[in-house]
Amino acid sequence: MAGAPSTEGDEPLFSVRPYSIQNLIDLFADIAGATVDAVAGKTHLVFFEGYFQDASIGAKTIVVEAEYVDHDYLEDFAAYYVRCFEDYDRKCVRMHFFNHPFSETDFRALLSGDESKLSVEQLQRSYLGFIVTKPFPHAFVGRTCLKTYGDDGGRRRYLNVRPCTASLFGIELEVDSLAFQEQDRVVSACATSALWSAFHATSALFQHSLPSPVDITRQAAEHSPVRSRVFPHSDGLLVEQMAFAIRRVGLEPLYIQGDPEDPEEPGDVRVTARVLRSSVHAYSSFGIPLILLTGLIGPDGKHIGSHACTITGFSVGATLNLTDPRTVLSSDRIDKLYVHDDQVGPFARMELIEQTGLVGLTTSWGLPGLRGVIAVPFALLVPLYNKIRIPFSNAIKLIKALDRGLSLLRGAPGNPLQLQQERLEWDVRLTSINEFKASIVTASHLTQEQKVSIRLLPMPRFLWRATASTSAGVMMDVLIDATDINHGRFIRYFHVSENSLHAALEELQHVSPQQLQGSGAPQQVVAIFLGLLGFLDRLNEPLSPR
C-alpha cells in the first residue's frame, strides 16, 4: 500500500506525505486498486484539486491511516460485498489533511510524546478533515468530512454543518463539516447519498437514529417498484421512496414546488428562483439541509437524467431589486448554493441562472463532455421534525399579505400616518424559542422592560420568525407558532416599532371584511386590506394601545 512503511512491532501502519494533487491521485489509485489515469479522470479529483489549493484551505500535509474500520462501509460490506466471489477488503484507509507542514519523523516523535517539532495543538489547529477511501477501483470516495471554504467576509454561509470528530492514534481532532460520500451504484444511488448526508445534520438537530447508506436503501426499497431490485441498486430512488426513508427515521418529508395560490407568482407550480431562495434560507438557517431534486440538461440542451444532492449552504452576493413590486426578502440576496453532490464533492458550488422566468443551476461537473451541464430544479424535499406543522409557504403568505397592506398604508395620499417611505426587507426563517430569546439580549429596538417581558413569555419550541428592517434598524418582528394548526391564531408575538403604524393596525382590528367590501374602494385595494385583516385575525393576542 502506497505510503505505508513497514511496521515496528504492533505499531499501526501510517505514513505522512506532503500534499500535492499528484500525491493524492497516487494514494487513491494505490488504495482503490485503480489506474492513475482512471483516478485522475474523475470529477472528484477536479474538485479536490481546486478545494485543497484554495487560499482558505491551503493543504500542506496528508497523514495516511491504514487498516481503518469505517462503520458505514462495514454495513455496506456485510450487506453485499462479503458475498462476492471477489475478495474485497473489509477495511478502508483514512486520509487526514492539515494546512501545517510536517514530516513523518515529526509525527512519529509526537506519537511518542515529544512535541519539540510538532505539537498536538498545532495538529488540531491545522486540521482540515479526512477522506475515507474504500477498496473499490471506481466509487472509492467514502465518508468524507472536510472543512468548509472560508466565509469570505460573511458572504458564504454554511448553516448545516456540525462538529465532526476523528481520533488519530489517540489524538482528538475536530472540524465543522457535514459528512459526504460518493454513491457506489451497488448499495446506494445519488438519492441515498443525499439522504445520508442530510440525516447527519438532522440526527444532531432532532436526535433520531443515523442509518447507513445500505439501511436507507433497504428502507426506501420497501416501496420499490417490481421492475427494480434492492441490491445491486442502480436505478435511483423515486421521490416517494425518499419520503418513506425520511419517515423511517421519525421525520416528516415536506415536498416543495411552486405555490399556484401565491398572488406574487400566480399559477406557477415550478420551483421558481424565489421559491428556491426563500425555502433554502428559511430552513437552512435552522440547520436543516434541503434535498435538491433536479433534471440535468447537457451542453447540447438534451435531458441526460435526474439528480439529487444535499444543500449545505449558500452565498449572499446578489443585490436586492428594490424596484420589484413584490415583497422584498433577504433571501433574494442568494446567488449561489453550496451542495454535497456525490458526483463532484462536498460544498460544491451551484450558481443560480434566471432566464425567461425559469431557474437553472450551474454544476461543477468539470470533465470534458460534462462541462456546461445545467441542473433544473423540479422540487425540494425537506426532512422535518413532526411537530413543525406550519410549512414555510403558509408563514410567507401571511408576511406577504402584511407587507402589501403596509405598502398601501405607506402610499396613502399625504402619508397621513407619517410612515417611513423606505421599503421593508423581510428576513423569514425557522427558529427555536431558545434561539429567539437569546437574540433578544442584543436587540436595539427593544427597551429593557420589553426584553424582560418577552423573555418571560411562554412560547412553543419551533417558530417562524419574520423580521422587517430598513436602514434605520428593525421595524417589525413577527413570531408564528410552527407547531400550531393552519387555521389557528398562531401569531404569538408581533412587535411594531413605529407608534403611528401600531395605532393604525390597532384600529384595523375592529374593521370587518363586510365593511371593507362595502366601502366602495377599488377591488384591488379591498383585496390587499382583506389580506392585512387576515394577518391581524391570526394574532394570538390582539394589539393593545401603547
pLDDT tens profile 205-216: 999 999 988 888
Among the residue ranges 423-432, 449-458, 506-515, the one predicted with the least confidence is 506-515
C-alpha separations of 214 from 137, 188, 252, 393, 444 in Å? 20, 7, 20, 33, 50
Question: Of 148, 133, 130, which is closest to residue 51 (Cα–Cα)?
Answer: 148
Q: What is the pLDDT of residue 12?
A: 56
Question: Which helix (H) or strand (E) is 467 found in, with range?
Answer: strand 462-470
The cell for 428 is 423569514
Tell me: the pLDDT tens digits for 468-498?
A: 998 888 999 999 999 999 888 999 999 998 8
Q: What is the pLDDT of residues 18-47, one digit of tens each?
A: 999 999 999 999 999 899 999 998 989 999
Which pLDDT score, from 0 to 100, does residue 76 have?
A: 74
Confidence of residue 4 (pLDDT cuts 50, 70, 90): very low
| pLDDT value of residue 231 | 42
b/e string for 260-271 if b means 16 or more Cβ within 10 A?
Answer: eebebbeebebb
* Overall size of the chain counted in residues: 546
* DSSP 8-state assignment for residue 160: S
Nearest to 59 by CA among 27, 34, 33, 93: 27
Omega within 30 of 0 (cis) for the link into 225: no
When pLDDT is cut at 50, 70 and 90, the band that residue 2 belongs to is: very low
- Mean pLDDT is highest, among 295-299, 376-380, 414-418, 469-473, for 376-380
The confidence score (pLDDT) of residue 38 equals 92
Residue 17 confidence (pLDDT) above 50: yes
Residue 187, pLDDT > 90, answer no
For helices 523-537 and 392-410, give the axis angle rounded to 10 degrees. 130
Distance CA 67, CA 78 (A): 17
Residue 1 confidence (pLDDT) above 50: no
CATH tag for 213-384 (out of 3.30.300, 3.40.50, 3.90.70, 3.30.70): 3.90.70
Question: How much is the pTM?
Answer: 0.90
Q: What is the chain's mean pLDDT, rounded?
A: 87
Q: Please give the radius of gyration of the chain, using alpha carbons only, rounded to the nearest integer.
A: 27
Q: Examine the pLDDT at 351 and tell me if it is beyond 90.
A: yes
Task: Label residue 446 by pLDDT band (50, 70, 90).
Answer: confident
d(CA 281, CA 110): 44
d(CA 217, CA 320): 42
Cell, residue 53: 489549493
State mean pLDDT over 116-143.
93
CA distance 540 to 536: 9
Instruction: Provide the pLDDT confidence category of residue 366 given band limits of 50, 70 and 90.
Output: low
* Cα dihedral across residues 228, 233, 234, 237: positive or negative: positive
| Distance (Å, whole) CA 177 – CA 29 | 25
State the pLDDT confidence band at 417, using cuts at 50, 70 and 90: low
Of all residues in the chain, what percent carry a pLDDT higher than 70?
88
Instruction: Report in angstroms the alpha-carbon separations of 426 from 19, 402, 474.
Output: 45, 11, 10
- Say if residue 233's pLDDT is above 60: no
How far apart, in whole angstroms, are the C-alpha atoms of residue 34 and residue 141? 12
By the 10 Å C-beta count (0-12 exposed, 13-18 middle, 19+ buried), 120 is classed as middle
Q: What is the mean pLDDT of residues 453-465?
A: 94
Give the contacts of 50 (CB within 8 A, at least 6 positions apart).
none
pLDDT band at 413 (very low <50, low <70, confident <90, very high): low
pLDDT band of residue 83 (cuts 50, 70, 90) is low
**Coil, strand or helix: which one is 1?**
coil
For residues 69-86, give the mean pLDDT.
Answer: 73
Annotated domain spans of the chain: 14-177, 213-384, 392-537
SS3 letters for 452-515?
A: HHHHCCCCCCEEEEEEEEECCEEEEEEEEECCCCCCCCCEEEEEECCHHHHHHHHHHCCCCHHH
Average pLDDT over residues 459-469: 96
Q: Is the pLDDT of residue 367 over 50?
A: yes
pLDDT at residue 6, rounded to an integer:
40
Query: Which grid coordinates belong to 110?
Result: 509526537
Of all helices (H) and strands (E), which one includes residue 220? Answer: helix 213-221
pLDDT at 214: 85
Residues 123, 97, 167, 133, Cα dihedral to 10°: -170
